[in-house]
Chain A
């Protein structure tokens, strides 16, 4: 097992990576919130979800977080009546993506909060290391 402070830097680094992937998925969802199909009755963009899992890192002796996978939301699509749209079906309804802006914003806030917490851990581990090194000063 390596020095616990270095290990905590790595753990928090893995956390930062996981949370930034989550923000990326949120921005993909937001960018595609209006992305409909182009042919008659085609499916629009389907909302993506991200799941985390913790894996035991044997070399580190600690459990890191990583992305388990990026899945899709099975929720039904919204439909809007718009007969002139190229993706409209026979009755004139267009399927819109199942992205909820409110949900994405909440998810983004949570990712942001977790990212900040991980960043705080890195700062703290660094300051603890420099406190130890400072013992050598004025010796």
Chain B
């Protein structure tokens, strides 16, 4: 049976947001570390595009790309607002904006899951 696509997408999105929250935390913790470069994760669109183009395994010895593998968001160099003299490229303001964005999107995703779940329960209960 085909898994319900919305739940799958919402789970992926919330995992991505959690990884991004992790990256933002790292940046903020290292906001005063000399020669630290700010990191960020791959945008969600890129991850979705990558996962939809995965190759199907038709034989038992084929290597499949599991969703967990394709979703490991690697930290990458972010487009920082500027680098200070010590070589640190973290801007606390920028990180706070990112954090607000993450929080908002996470609430959005969980609320979508909640309402979709409620709709399904209504359909089941009749």
Contacts and interface: CB of A to CB of B under 8 A. Distances in A.
B partners with A: yes
A20 interface: no
Interface residues of A, number: 39
Given A15-B28, A131-B106, A53 B33 contact: yes
A34 interface: no
B38 to A, nearest CB: 11
A135 B29 CA distance: 30
Interface in B93-118: 95-96, 99, 102-103, 106-107, 110, 113-114, 117-118
A25 interface: no
Interface in B5-56: 14-15, 17-19, 21-22, 24-26, 28-34, 36
A115 B121 CA distance: 44
Given A65-B33, A117-B95, A4 B103 contact: no
Grouping DSSP codes into helix (H, G, I), strand (E, B) and loop, the A interface class, with mixed when no group exceeds half, is helix
Contacts of B95: 117
Interface residues of B, number: 32
B19 A127 contact: no
Given A8-B22, A135-B114, A124 B99 contact: yes
A5 interface: yes
B119 interface: no
Interface in A2-18: 3-5, 7-9, 11-12, 14-15, 18
A15 B90 CA distance: 14
B110 A135 contact: yes
29 contacts: A3-B18, A8-B21, A11-B25, A11-B29, A15-B25, A52-B30, A52-B32, A54-B29, A54-B36, A65-B32, A65-B33, A114-B32, A114-B92, A117-B95, A117-B96, A118-B25, A118-B28, A121-B21, A121-B28, A128-B21, A128-B106, A131-B107, A132-B14, A134-B110, A134-B114, A135-B113, A135-B114, A139-B117, A139-B121
Contacts of A19: 32
